[in-house]
Structure 1
Amino acid sequence: MLTEPVDLDREELRETLARGWRIDVASLDYRPLGFGSHHWVVIDPAGSRWFATVDDLRSGRAGEDRDAAFAALESAFLTARMLRDEGKLEFVVAPLLDRDGSVLRRVGLDYAVSLFPFIDGESFGFGEYRSERDRHEVLRLLGRLHEASPVLPSGLTRHDDLTVPRRAELLEALGQVDAPWTTGPFAEPTRLLLQSSAENLRTALDRYDSLVAEVSASTSSWVVTHGEPHTGNFIRDRQDRLLLIDWDTVALGPPERDLWMVVGDEQADLAAYSNAARSAKVSPRAMQLYRLWWTLADIAEFVSWFRGPHDRSADKEAGWTFLSRALPIRSELLD
């Protein structure tokens, strides 16, 4: 997130890091990055650095309530640890274990913190891969990831249920577009945008449901997937190694859950993927499903933001920019 949470007690975060990971915290430097989680660089008196990630357990992204969200994050981070340690995937940036062998600790009732090694290297913003070399390197890593699925014990890693998060809220919002919304500066613009895009959005949801019916018919080829292998989740370190971060979205699903985000020139790209994966067959329907899922999930998230009480902030400005560009949904996503 671009803004630090106002209701998180920094001193409590400092104490949690000290108790859990035995760090004498000299400073906490907030880093405004991405959407979803909050991030700090943690520095001790000797100048050693770590990267702390804090998730809001009330957000609804990981689970329906705080305990369910904590359990889901814990499962995801344990999956990342196992992929790195048992799967020998050196590119997986997994959380550090605390003094009790845990990957996650509560910070009060509403937040959870995980701690990661600090990576000295080059990070990238969200967008297109800069070169074919980078794209093919990512595809080879994803092939290795998908092939590592057998190292995971049954029941550890969640299965992608293919549902659009906050879909019920989105449908409820579509039914309330005829009366003014007064919850904040982006409420009325959101209502008017939904009102003008209602038919387009309902068509997109129907199209998504038909794709789900096709893709979910067989799960035999499902593998462990990262879920968001975009440019913003890779770091190239000083040894020129490409490293994959942010494992909270890890899940068992079709390979296309990852591939849709990376594959451009299909023939050349899938050749790179097949260097590490046993199968390079791609389902066009599954690729389309995940392209559409990404758009629908973001629309539902930002509509939820703006239907509720909110102020103007850097996060809300960015959310409105995305929402206003996402609706109406482009026709190529619905074909």
Structure 2
Amino acid sequence: MKVKYRIDDSDLITKLHKEYGIQVESVNFIPMGDSAYSYWLKCTNGERYYLKLFDHHNDKQRTSVERLPYYLPLTWQMYHQGLFRNIAYPIKNQSGDFKTTFIDITVVLFNFIEGETLAAAYPFSKEILEAIAKSVALIQKITPFIEQYTLLTETFDISFESDLEKCIWMLENTETFDNSIKQALRELVLAKKEQIFVLLNLVRKLRGIAIADTNEKVLCHGDIWGGNLIHCESGLYFIDWESAVIAPPEFDLVGYIGEEFGVFFSTYEKHTGKTVTINPDLLRFYAYRHHLRNLTTWLMNILYRNTEEAQNENDLAMILYHCMNRWDSIEPRVGTVEAWLGNRM
């Protein structure tokens, strides 16, 4: 989120002291993401924490709250049982709960990781690619040791399609918006309408192929991009596990298709300790689904959710520069993977 939640810092500090017993000196807003409001906290004793705040009036953030019971116990177990320690894990409140709910919000407190995110580090160096690939392999290898009953299993969900169709219908049936950003959105999206529906139909077809795939499913982070990776002196840390799921390994490999795939996959396979079979159609499914689901989220934000113009500006830019401009590169990048896999046989 680009604009902080409408709560006074003093009120938030009072709530956190009551629920967690911590003496917060300052609350510092972090303008990032859209599934929650992010803050880092400085306490009077010098300790620091990371805080996520979810607004119950925002339907996307309500959905994020529904996922908390799945990934918070997972990350707690991964850290405290030593399965994978380079991770953001929840801090329990004084009642022993992973989350705290007030009237209109839910908050979760996490350990603070000192370092820099890799959001602005693209293109990644060979060393960074190898570090990510090694971690992905280690995460997948702990699958037998985690309490899987607490986790979601991949269903290849594309339920966003109804919201996407609703948003396009809204844009088609409103010739003129009284908001310049919504008007710009209308022109941008309707110019791509035909391609959007071609891709949506492709995702529906690929979903059938994905469901029929019989390869093993493993623990996946589900959103391994630079903004969810923190590089510090002690190594590479993985944060924001909201999308964690038991899924085909392709779910965590799709972010590294293209020219860098050879470096990434070689290191990944080395640390899994076995030969891994890749289904290119699963890579296609995850790549196209990712972009269409993101498009839907940002459309819903602008048309129905956002209350701040700064957030609308951000979401329009995300559609233009982190979504639509990447669609045409997906097939060539998957083709590069297919060629690399074919050459090593």
Deviation at 1:40, TM superposition (A): 1.4
1:182 counterpart = 2:177: yes
**Percent of aligned positions with the same letter in both sequences?**
17
SS of match in other structure, 1:243 = strand
2:51 maps to amino acid: A
State how far apart, in whole Å, the 2-side matches of 1:216 and 1:330 are: 23
Q: Is the 8 A contact 1:165 1:301 kept in 2?
A: no
Q: Is the 8 A contact 2:64 2:242 kept in 1?
A: no
Structure 2 residue aligned with 1:244, among 229, 235, 238?
Answer: 238
Deviation at 1:281, TM superposition (A): 2.3
State how far apart, in whole Å, the 2-side matches of 1:275 and 1:285 are: 23
1:333 maps to amino acid: I
Cα distance, 1:125–1:40 mapped onto 2, change above 3 Å: same
Deviation at 1:207, TM superposition (A): 0.5
1:293 counterpart = 2:289: yes
Deviation at 1:227, TM superposition (A): 0.9
Q: Is the 8 A contact 1:96 1:117 kept in 2?
A: yes
Which of 1 and 2 has higher RCO (CA within 8 Å, sep 6+)?
1
Residue 299 of structure 2 corresponds to which residue in structure 1?
303
Deviation at 1:145, TM superposition (A): 0.5
1:4 counterpart = 2:4: yes
CA-atom RMSD in angstroms = 2.4
Aligned length: 328
Q: Which moved more, 1:182-191 or 1:248-257?
A: 182-191
Cα distance, 1:227–1:309 mapped onto 2, change above 3 Å: closer
Cα distance, 1:331–1:28 mapped onto 2, change above 3 Å: closer
1:282 maps to amino acid: I
Q: TM-score, length-normalised on structure 2?
A: 0.86
State how far apart, in whole Å, the 1-side matches of 2:300 and 2:166 are: 10
Q: Deviations over 1:296-325 (max 9, x none)?
A: 011101111222264553332121112234
1:313 counterpart = 2:319: no
Residue 77 of structure 2 corresponds to which residue in structure 1?
82
Deviation at 1:115, TM superposition (A): 1.1
State how far apart, in whole Å, the 2-side matches of 1:329 and 1:242 are: 27
Residue 93 of structure 2 corresponds to which residue in structure 1?
98
Q: Is the 8 A contact 2:130 2:264 kept in 1?
A: yes
Deviation at 1:214, TM superposition (A): 0.5
Higher helix share: 2
2:147 maps to amino acid: P
Q: TM-score, length-normalised on structure 1?
A: 0.88
Cα distance, 1:317–1:69 mapped onto 2, change above 3 Å: closer
Cα distance, 1:181–1:81 mapped onto 2, change above 3 Å: farther
1:153 maps to amino acid: E
State how far apart, in whole Å, the 2-side matches of 1:205 and 1:195 are: 15
SS of match in other structure, 2:255 = coil
2:47 maps to amino acid: S
SS of match in other structure, 1:315 = helix
Residue 265 of structure 1 corresponds to which residue in structure 2?
260
Deviation at 1:249, TM superposition (A): 1.5
1:1-335 counterparts in 2 under 5 A?
A: 1-6=1-6, 8-61=7-60, 66=62, 69-86=64-81, 88-109=83-104, 111-125=105-119, 128-164=122-158, 166-176=160-170, 177-180=172-175, 182=177, 184-218=179-213, 220-239=215-234, 241-263=235-257, 264-277=259-272, 278-308=274-304, 310=306, 313-325=309-321, 326-327=323-324, 330-333=327-330
Deviation at 1:134, TM superposition (A): 0.5
1:202 maps to amino acid: F
Where structure 1 has 5 or more consecutive residues not aligned to the other structure, the ranges are none
1:324 maps to amino acid: L
Q: Which moved more, 1:258-267 or 1:47-56?
A: 258-267
